[in-house]
Chain A
Amino acid sequence: MNRTLAGVAWVALYLLVVLVPMFLMLLPPLPSGRTFWLEFAVALGFVGLIQLAVQFVLIARFRPLTAPYGIDVILQYHRQIALVAVAVILVHPVIIIVDNPSRLELLNPFGGTIASRFGILAILALSTLVLTSVFRERLGFRYEAWRFTHLALGLITVAFAQAHVSLAGLYTNAPWKQAVWVVSAVMMLCLVVYLRVIRPWRQRRSPWQVSRVESLPGATVALTLEPQGHAGMRFAPGQFAWIKLANSPFTLEEHPFSFSSSAEDTGRLEFGIKGLGDFSARVGSIPAGTTAFIDGPHGAFSIDRYQAPGYVFIAGGVGITPIMSFLRTMADREDPRPVLLIYADTSLEEMSYREELVPLEKRLSLAIVDLPEKPPPDWEGEHGLVDADLLGRVLPEERFARDVFVCGPPPMMDAVQAALLARDVPRERIHLERFVLA
């Protein structure tokens, strides 16, 4: 199906899923209506609960759902709409109490009703979840531990919130109305089982093996995986996959990395991994022969998705990895289209793939601008940051026709996007990879 149509269809389905259970509550048997603000508070609670449950759909990595948008956009939405849902859920009790202050007693954990106690517990779990996610790095929370906590708190929150709705009882005054809420909440929680049990179960049949671990400059490791008893994986250049390095696929420890190898070679996958996080710092010491499982390919950051008469690739640091995949794939395909690569990093020594780029320059119509932020004393090329001035000097004349792919740290991508827009590159030609998935 057409990607745009699919994208619109999913959004429509999503809005239906969030609002239909609430509007089903308008069917008889109907309790007597109350004031607008009280009913509004209740409705916000309903919307908040379903939105929390939908969060589990967003992270389930359903390829039909994520493909129209790109999974990085879906995960960004997961984070942003979570804040909306939390706001809505916190407003829910506030309006109820402002509407009638004697209801303050419901906030007393030793008083109130059983329903109100479940509500309080759900809000406590939810607040912990949000705080540990937003401030994970500042709290010094390890990624793997956070991931487990996040999942557990998410399940607890939805379970408690569902108990709150079931027991509060005003709108759940008929068995089928109870069922509407319980079934929709449980269905979405089941996606956790899909992601954490069924998906790994399927992965068992297609294991991979680490065949090579090569150290590159700039504390980067090229990890090569080869399929064990299966045909391998077909991916589009620029995509990424979640990798588990363990003997069993049922581990929570998995990390997303971009393919850096050619998409034409499905039987040998290479990933470029920079020692930034606690896992990626350990990757260099992984012995060849280690078993691996791959969930992928994911992502919409691909030249195959946006055909153009030529490309501009702008890489910042380890953001070069998907772009290596672009270039290697284009070389294997003997793609004649012109490419400009701006390779930015703190210094020349940090640039992990400078050597690998040399042979590609001969096989492709490729112009490379190495852009060290701190150049060596004898450096005569460009240096500094990717800004409008630099783009004005290096961008080709036909910049309006080319598609621009930017991958790097988030602040750099924001700055580069602003600079590109300032240089009259149309917004629809700029493609970013928001690679902060944690």
Chain B
Amino acid sequence: MRHFLANIALYVIAAFLVSGAALFALMRSTQFVLTDEETMLAHYRPAAGESFEWRELGERTYVANCAGCHGRDGTGRDQYPPLATAAALLPMHGGREYLIDLHLYGLASARRRAPMPPMGHIPDVALAAAMNHVLVEFGQLQLFAPAELLITPAEIAARRGAGIRPQDVEQRRPR
């Protein structure tokens, strides 16, 4: 009898563990929306003729999405590249598009062992803010390009929906 019950318990417990994992995934994939993300982002979205106040949002988005690999100060580690010269690409031909695409669609490159995962789930405003945070705080934008070259949410929106593969993004890197 003990062994019979133990066998039943095994299946019940195994099912319980897998459903626990599924519940966790469900809660995480719906993101625990405590405030409406749209409402929050609308606060940052620049109106016509207004300047884009990206600093606060950019830092927050960066810490939540990028710092895990690239480090809080953008120095990178191990297989994850430092972001110190990111701004050098910005004034080059096709550089802006390349930088935006690698965020939207990810990047698989022989130069780096770890692929850059696609970050397209981040809304335009937040993604533009995070990119600006990188370009200004770590990428030494002032050395390479004037401040008007900062990324705007509208540019991100324009490059969405192209469905580019991470390996193809690498082809677009300016040389």
Contacts and interface: CB of A to CB of B under 8 A. Distances in A.
B1 A18 contact: no
Given A32-B65, A37-B25, 7 more contacts: A19-B20, A26-B24, A26-B27, A47-B21, A77-B9, A84-B14, A427-B1
Contact of B22 (A32, A43, A113): A43
A434 B3 CA distance: 8
Interface in B5-34: 6, 9-10, 13-14, 16-18, 20-22, 24-32
B106 interface: yes
A307 interface: no
A88 B20 CA distance: 12
Nearest to B118: A100
B14 A26 contact: no
B24 A39 contact: yes
Contacts of B14: 81, 84
Given A26-B32, A33-B29, A102-B115, A70 B68 contact: no
A169 B17 contact: no
A131 interface: no
Given A18-B20, A112-B79, A170-B68, A76 B6 contact: yes
Contact of A73 (B6, B21, B24): B6
B121 A428 contact: no
Contacts of B78: 113-114
A432 B22 CA distance: 36
Interface string B107-130: 010000111011001100000000
B43 interface: no
Which 5 interchain pairs have the tightest Cβ spacing?
A43-B21, A40-B25, A111-B113, A39-B25, A33-B31
A40 B13 contact: no
B74 interface: no
A6 B49 CA distance: 70
Contacts of A39: 24-25, 28-29
Nearest to B122: A32
A30 B32 contact: yes
B18 A88 contact: yes
Contacts of A432: 2-3
Contact of B21 (A22, A69, A70, A173): A22
A55 interface: no
Contacts of A100: 106, 115, 117-118
B140 interface: no
Contact of A70 (B2, B13, B26, B65): B2
B3 A40 contact: no
B29 A84 contact: no
B18 to A, nearest CB: 7
Given A39-B25, A47-B17, A431 B65 contact: no
A282 interface: no
A108 B6 CA distance: 40
Given A15-B13, A26-B32, A105 B24 contact: no
